[in-house]
């Protein structure tokens, strides 16, 4: 089995809530609350969950674009959050991020060749000519016409701009890339081009991806394993196909049942979630999903379920996982 490239242990990220004239801290938004996960070398780990559940925050903390409140992140055996600035800079070459917004995340005053070449300028001692040659090579790799490198990003379409962001992210031959909603803003025909590109680059360069997205079909297509978050917690982790075919956590089941099918004749039995989405500043006791879970029992509001392996390659944080002996029964809902 491939070795673990990324090891996240009990990471918490709290954002203080300030109030009043004295700016006193009156509470915390628990954006990520005690999350552990491992990503194997060369795999794509998909991360899904409701808007605001902490996916982007987790991605940023893993790359130390934000500090962690607690916990540790190891990449390639090194503790990212205790590196000196110099070592961190060195490490930055190995890990990159691709953002959602192909429009906002590129500096509009930079020519495309400068956008792509910037990391080379910062992190290497390459000459201007060498950088230019590498930019041409990178643009070819991502399917962009290198003769257009002296243009500005706004002269490119959405899909092309996303490719510019990808070319920049792979410029330093990183090992690990966090793709945060990297294809979400693109329409299907452009989206499929960019997904193919990411998968091809992964094969060619041996890349490891943390792929954050709300497009569940896209996540299924690209990911080897998938993690599901709810209100700052990882509630389920599993091998992609079996997780999609038979979700263990009631929230995963609800999420998957909400995907619209591209067929007018087939309809899914949708699990409609009741109740409000709770605030991450004041999460419910016990299992955080108990206020909306159709299977909640008394224990759920009292005892917090831990993420444990209940089937080979399948972890879940639920007292009564679906389809497991003594667990919940989906067919009782319909």
Partner 1 sequence: MAEKLLEVRNLTTGFLTEKGFVKATDRISINIEKGKTLCLVGESGSGKSVTSLSIMRLIDYAGGVILEGNINFKGQDLAAKKQEELKEIRGNQISMIFQDPMSALNPVFTVGEQIAESLRLHQNKNKDEAWKEAVELLRMVGIPSPEIRAKQYPNQLSGGMCQRVVIAIALAAKPELLIADEPTTALDVTVQAQILELLQDLKEKLGTSILLITHDMGVAAEMADHIAVMYAGAIVEQGTVEEIFANPSHPYTVGLLQSIPGFEGERGGELYTIKGTIPGLGNLPQGCRFNPRCPHVMDKCRQVEPGDIQIGAEHKTKCWLYEDQAKVAAAGKGEHIHG
Ligand X SMILES: Nc1ncnc2c1ncn2[C@@H]1O[C@H](COP(=O)(O)OP(=O)(O)OP(=O)(O)O)[C@@H](O)[C@H]1O
Binding site for partner 1 (CB under 8 A): 49-52, 157-160, 186-193, 195-196, 199, 214, 216-218, 220-222, 240-241, 244, 254-255, 258-265, 267, 270, 272-273, 276-277
When asked if residue 116 is in the footprint of ligand X (CB under 6 A), the reply is no
SS3 46: strand
Nearer to partner 1, 71 or 143 (CB): 143
Rounded CA-CA distance 140/148 in Å is: 11
Backbone angles phi, psi at 315, to 5 degrees: -110, 145
When asked if residue 305 is in the footprint of ligand SF4 (CB under 6 A), the reply is yes
The residue range among 49-57, 117-125, 163-171, 239-247 that interacts with ligand X, by the rule CB under 6 A, is: 49-57
Edge to edge, what strands does the sheet with 78-79 contain? 24-40, 4-19, 70-75, 78-79
Beta bridge mates, 179: 98, 211
Instruction: Give the residue closest to Mg ion by C-beta.
Output: 56
Nearer to ligand X, 74 or 214 (CB): 214
Q: Of the candidates 54, 59, 227, 250, which one interacts with ligand SF4 according to CB under 6 A?
A: 250
Beta strands 208-212 and 44-49: pairing type? parallel
The residue range among 18-26, 179-187, 191-199, 313-321 that interacts with ligand SF4, by the rule CB under 6 A, is: 313-321
Instruction: Give the end-to-end CA distance of the chain in Å, rounded to a whole number.
Output: 40
Residues 6+ apart with CB under 8 A from 22: none
When asked if residue 314 is in the footprint of ligand SF4 (CB under 6 A), the reply is no
When asked if residue 247 is in the footprint of ligand SF4 (CB under 6 A), the reply is no
For tokens 């959050």, name the residue. Answer: 81
Nearer to ligand SF4, 32 or 293 (CB): 293
Rounded CA-CA distance 15/12 in Å is: 10
Distance of CA 70 to the CA centre of its chain: 20
DSSP conformation class of 153: G
The residue range among 98-106, 127-135, 210-218, 288-296 that interacts with ligand SF4, by the rule CB under 6 A, is: 288-296
Residue list 151-180, contact with ligand X (CB under 6 A): none
Beta bridge mates, 35: 11
DSSP conformation class of 111: -
Interacting partner of 319 out of Mg ion, ligand X, ligand SF4, none (Cβ under 5 to 8 A depending on kind): ligand SF4
Query: Residue numbers of the site for Mg ion (CB under 5 A)?
Result: 56
Residue list 239-268, contact with ligand X (CB under 6 A): none
Rounded CA-CA distance 6/210 in Å is: 10
Residue 189: CB atoms within 10 A of its CB come to 8
Question: Which among 17, 33, 13 is positioned nearest to 25, based on CA atoms?
Answer: 17
The residue range among 33-41, 156-164, 170-178, 318-326 that interacts with ligand SF4, by the rule CB under 6 A, is: 318-326
When asked if residue 15 is in the footprint of ligand X (CB under 6 A), the reply is yes
In whole angstroms, the minimum distance from the beta carbon of 303 to partner 1 comes to 25
Q: Of the candidates 8, 11, 37, 53, which one interacts with ligand X according to CB under 6 A?
A: 53
Rounded CA-CA distance 182/160 in Å is: 12
The H or E element that residue 243 is part of is: helix 240-245
Interacting partner of 295 out of ligand X, ligand SF4, partner 1, none (Cβ under 5 to 8 A depending on kind): ligand SF4
When asked if residue 143 is in the footprint of ligand X (CB under 6 A), the reply is no
When asked if residue 215 is in the footprint of ligand X (CB under 6 A), the reply is no
What residue ranges bind ligand SF4 (CB under 6 A)? 249-250, 287, 289-290, 293, 295-296, 300, 305, 318-320, 328
């Amino acid at each position: 089995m491939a070795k673990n490239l990324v090891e996240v242990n009990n990471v918490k990220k709290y954002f203080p809530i300030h109030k009043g004239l004295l700016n006193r801290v009156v509470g915390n938004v628990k954006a990520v609350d005690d999350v552990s996960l491992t990503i194997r070398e060369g795999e794509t780990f998909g991360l899904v969950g409701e808007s605001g559940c902490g996916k982007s925050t987790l991605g940023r903390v893993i790359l130390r674009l934000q500090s962690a409140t607690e916990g540790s992140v190891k990449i390639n055996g090194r503790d990212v959050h205790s590196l000196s600035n110099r070592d961190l800079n060195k490490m930055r070459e190995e890990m990159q991020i691709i953002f959602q917004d192909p429009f906002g995340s590129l500096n509009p005053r930079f020519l495309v060749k400068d956008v792509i070449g910037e990391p080379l300028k910062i992190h290497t001692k390459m000459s201007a000519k060498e950088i230019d040659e590498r930019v041409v090579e990178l643009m070819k790799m991502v399917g962009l016409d290198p003769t257009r490198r002296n243009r500005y990003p706004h002269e490119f379409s959405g899909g092309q701009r996303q490719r510019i962001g990808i070319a920049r992210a792979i410029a330093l031959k990183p090992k690990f890339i966090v793709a945060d909603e990297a294809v979400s803003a693109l329409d299907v025909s452009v989206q499929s081009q960019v997904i193919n590109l990411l998968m091809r680059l992964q094969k060619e360069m041996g890349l490891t991806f943390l792929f954050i997205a709300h497009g569940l079909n896209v996540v299924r297509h690209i990911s080897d394993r998938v993690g599901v978050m709810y209100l700052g917690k990882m509630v389920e982790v599993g091998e992609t196909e079996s997780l999609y075919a038979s979700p263990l956590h009631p929230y995963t089941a609800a999420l998957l049942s909400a995907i619209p099918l591209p067929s007018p004749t087939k309809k899914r039995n949708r699990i409609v979630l009741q109740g409000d989405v709770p605030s991450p500043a004041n999460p419910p006791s016990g299992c955080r999903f108990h206020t909306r879970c159709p299977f909640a029992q008394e224990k759920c509001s009292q005892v917090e379920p831990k993420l444990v392996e209940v089937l080979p390659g399948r972890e879940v944080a639920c007292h009564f996982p679906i389809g497991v002996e003594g667990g919940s029964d989906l067919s009782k809902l319909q």
